[in-house]
Amino acid sequence: MKIVVLNGSPKGKLSISKKYVEFLQKKNGNTEFEYLDIGFNILKLEKNREYFDSVMKKIKDSDCVIWCTPVYYFMVPGQLKRFIELIYERNTQEVFKDKYAFSLTTSIHFYDTQTVEYLEAVSHDLDMNYFGDFTAHMNDFFKEKNRKELTGFFDTFKNSFENKIKFHKTSIVLNENKISYTPSKKDTEAVLNKNILIIADDLSQKDNLYNMIEKFETSIKNKITVLDLSQINIAGGCTGCLRCGYSNKCIYNDDVKKVYDDYIKKSDVILYALHIKDRYASSRFKYFQDRTFFNGHCPPFINKKIGYIFSGNYRYCPWIKQNLRAFCEYTESYLFGTISDECSSSEEIDILIDSLIKSMISATNNDCSKPVSFLGKSSHLIFRDFIYSHKSIFRADFKYYKNNKLFDFPHKDIKTRFFNFMMGMAFSIKKMREKIAPRFKNFMLKPYEKVMEKE
Ligand SMILES: Cc1cc2nc3c(=O)[nH]c(=O)nc-3n(C[C@H](O)[C@H](O)[C@H](O)COP(=O)(O)O)c2cc1C
């Protein structure tokens, strides 16, 4: 059995994710592993066609592929995303056909699920026989139980390969037929006296996204700032060096920080305009997003109103929808709308843009906000615990969390502790328990009624 390991980590041989596969190699002497540091070598893969072709040949000559990658901002790192785009741009999908595959991610479990769902869909698009995923925490390696789980997972994978087990391809096949959008001409009516910023991944072609942005801009009387990520200097993808953790300073000295300080921080409304390529937003956007790691977990988006315009198969990527929601919830911003050009006519797109503008104005004028759901709440808990236990590395985050009272561990809530102590005492007496229990429902509703009376 010959396995190719596509390592998406920009850290290359210093990657934690790769260690997990090296462990599997150690335990499986008769299996051949070939490591390809895709994330680390992405520039070479882009610029040197011979090298890219040699990588494709190695994949073609293998039996199985492991997508081995860290999770970066809900997804694979920009570098791995770019590699997947290159497969399509260079028409080399064929080499992946019928290969057995699985994904192995390491992370702190913040949206690793979305990452593996993406990789599953990509594998289905490439006509691979996708076995499943192993979503490890970056520290799982240190526990024998987790290492055992990993070898067990791999044994089952090997068994599936040897027995030629076929896996159901559950991803809906992508729609390649798109209409070409021609915007209607209409007098401008809408006004919103706020700073509106559009961040687009690429407006160099006069395509649907370009036309949608033009339509959006010309439908509002205010001046809108448009930032085209293909025109700004992004020196490279995040290298995962973590040096920003101490003081929020990135090793790169390019335009990314400037975008934050001069545009994002000063805006009230941000509209992202993005191309969907394969099953996610373009790698250009992903590079930019990964690089925002220098901000740490101190959100610069609080109270901003955020919208999205997509061009491409947005509907076929449910993980994007969930990522947007999670992003807005944990950054305390407000998602006012999302549209795409997956429509049957230009008029339909016109209506969607018009409605998006109305939603934006209404959300901004009413200063809308929303409570967090499971997505936002779980994000907070993961970051809170992670930052607390890594305060030496993520010093800037630690300070921010401390100053903003975000270390809200339950044991710090004196009132609740006192309540539980008193109730615990009362409940330990059978007679008291029998007296209180039938009144639980009334008891729980009392504080709500008190608030209602005051309103
Ligand atoms: C830029 C950046 C973004 C990250 N985003 C996430 C994330 O969204 N979710 C998560 O659980 N971990 C995230 N992490 C943590 C990494 O996934 C984790 O440290 C991983 O184990 C690194 O693996 P590697 O050494 O193979 O690159 C991020 C790390 C970096 C540097």
Q: Is 369 helix (H, G, I), strand (E, B) or coil?
A: coil
pLDDT band at 411 (very low <50, low <70, confident <90, very high): confident
d(CA 220, CA 208): 19
Q: Which residues, 6+ apart, have CB-to-CB distance to 69 below 8 Å?
A: 6, 7, 8, 9, 17, 39, 76, 77, 80, 103, 104, 105, 115, 119
- For all residues of the chain together, what is the average pLDDT? 95
> 51 C-alpha vs ligand 1 centroid, how far in Å?
27
Question: What is the arithmetic mean of pLDDT over 249-278?
Answer: 96
The alpha carbons of the chain give a radius of gyration, in whole angstroms, of 25
CB proximity list for 417: less than 8 A, separation 6 or greater: 411
- What structural domains and CATH numbers belong to the chain? 2-162 (3.40.50.360), 196-365 (3.40.50.360), 374-454 (no CATH)
pLDDT band at 436 (very low <50, low <70, confident <90, very high): confident
Evaluate whether 216 touches 198 at the Cβ level (below 8 Å). yes
State pLDDT tens for residues 364-373: 999 999 999 9
**Distance of CA 250 from the midpoint of ligand 1 (Å):** 16
For residue 416 the two structure tokens come to 């609740």
Q: pLDDT, tens digit, for every residue of 10-32?
A: 999 999 999 999 999 999 999 99
Please compute the mean of the pLDDT values over residues 31-40 and round it to a whole number. Answer: 98
- pLDDT on residue 124: 98
15 CB within 6 A, ligand 1 = yes
Label the pairing between strands 269-277 and 280-281.
antiparallel
Tell which atom from ligand 1 comes closest to the C-alpha of 18. Answer: 26
- Alpha carbon of 71 to ligand 1 centroid (Å): 5
133 vs 71: CA distance, rounded Å: 13
Q: Ligand 1 pocket test: which of 42, 73, 287 has the largest number of ligand atoms within 8 Å of its C-beta? A: 73
d(CA 23, CA 453): 63
Q: Is the dihedral of CA 286, 291, 294, 299 positive or negative?
A: negative
Residue type, position 3, single letter: I
Query: Which carries the bigger pLDDT value, residue 299 or residue 118?
Result: 118
* 382 Cβ closer than 6 Å to some ligand 1 atom: no
Tokens at 272, concatenated? 């992202």
Strand boundaries in 47-113, DSSP class E: 64-70, 100-107
Q: Which residue CA neighbors atom 16 of ligand 1 most closely?
A: 107
Close Cβ partners of 239 (under 8 Å, ≥ 6 residues apart) = 10, 11, 251
Atom of ligand 1 nearest to the CA of 9: 27
Mean pLDDT (whole number) for 195-211: 98
Three-state DSSP state, 2: strand
Measured in whole angstroms, the distance separating CA 284 from the mean position of its chain's CA atoms is 14
- DSSP secondary structure letters along 379-400: HHHHHHHHHHHTTTTSHHHHHH
Q: What pLDDT, on a 0 to 100 scale, did the predictor assign at position 309?
A: 98
**Confidence bin at 189 (pLDDT 50/70/90):** confident
> pLDDT class for 413, splitting at 50, 70, 90?
confident
The string of pLDDT tens digits covering residues 247-262 is 899 999 999 999 999 9
Of ligand 1's listed atoms, the one at least distance from the Cα of 74 is 8
Atom from ligand 1 closest to the CA of residue 109 = 11
Please compute, for residue 313, the number of CA atoms within 13 A of its CA located in the half-sphere on the CB side: 17
- What is the identity of the amino acid at 91? N
Token pair in block for residue 408: 């809200």
Q: What's the Cα-to-Cα distance from 103 to each of 85, 115, 118, rounded to whole Å?
A: 18, 9, 10
Structure confidence at residue 188 as a pLDDT band (50, 70, 90): confident
pLDDT band at 265 (very low <50, low <70, confident <90, very high): very high
